[in-house]
Amino acid sequence: MIPTSSAEQVLQTLAGFKAYAAGTLLVLELAGTFVFALSGAAAGVKHRLDLFGVLVVSCATAT
């Protein structure tokens, strides 16, 4: 059986990793949303839309 102090240390380490993993996933999700918005904006510019059209297409692509 694991001594209590070792078990607490393991739990604290796992809690720290969980927070790190959640932060990493958030950054990856935001980066993906940004890239999709850029691709939508590029498609809008390619089809010669005005500024409002580019914004609508980029927002629709990102969500």
- What does the domain layout of the chain look like in residue ranges? 20-62
| Confidence tier at 44 by pLDDT (50, 70, 90) | very high
pLDDT of residue 49: 96
Of 19-23, 27-31, 39-43, the least confident = 19-23
Sign of the C-alpha dihedral, residues 31, 36, 37, 39?
positive
Compute the distance between CA of residue 43 and CA of residue 37 in angstroms, rounded to an integer: 10
- % of the chain beyond a pLDDT of 70: 94
| Confidence tier at 34 by pLDDT (50, 70, 90) | very high
pLDDT at 1 > cutoff 60:
no
